[in-house]
């Protein structure tokens, strides 16, 4: 037959365990809520501050999850009429900044006028 565990006394022992856990917990403020011997108004104030912080965190986390789940995207279309289409007819552009220090003369030759609006006379200065 299995040995039975002794019955645990309710009350002071559990409160002491909770206070010991709260004092060593890294959740800031929890030790103040369950501090033994602290005045009740002070503990209630700390409990309110902890609950308000938890509520603010959960509200912001919920908003971020909803925004992520909505999968927002931005599409910008510029339309221009032309009788002659130059390849590529559709251009997908990103808005990342160009690092001038990484551009080579070959890059300026192929993208300078159309994409960067740099004339060939300005290549050395660019």
> pLDDT tens-digit profile of 5-22?
555 555 556 767 878 888
Q: For residue 76, what is the enclosing H or E element? A: none
The length of the chain, given as a count of residues: 126
Under the banding of pLDDT at 50, 70 and 90, the label for residue 44 is very high
pLDDT score at 77? 77
pLDDT score at 76? 76
pLDDT score at 88? 63
Of 95, 90, 60, residue with least CA distance to 74: 95
More confident residue, 83 or 40: 40
User: Is residue 44 within 8 Å of residue 50, measured between CB atoms?
Assistant: no
Q: Cα 92 to chain center, whole Å?
A: 27
Under the banding of pLDDT at 50, 70 and 90, the label for residue 73 is confident
Question: Max CA-CA distance within the chain?
Answer: 96
Under the banding of pLDDT at 50, 70 and 90, the label for residue 61 is very high
């Amino acid at each position: 037959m299995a040995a039975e565990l002794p019955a645990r006394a309710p009350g002071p022992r559990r409160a002491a365990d909770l206070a010991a856990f709260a004092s060593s917990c890294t959740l800031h403020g929890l030790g103040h809520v369950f501090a033994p011997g602290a005045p009740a108004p002070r503990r209630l104030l700390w409990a309110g501050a902890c609950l308000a912080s938890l509520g603010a965190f959960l509200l912001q986390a919920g908003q971020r999850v909803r925004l992520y789940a909505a999968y927002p995207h931005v599409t910008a279309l510029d339309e221009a009429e032309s009788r002659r289409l130059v390849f590529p007819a559709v251009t997908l552009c990103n808005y990342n900044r160009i690092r001038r220090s990484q551009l080579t003369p070959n890059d300026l030759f192929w993208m300078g006028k159309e994409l960067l609006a740099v004339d060939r006379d300005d290549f050395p200065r660019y």
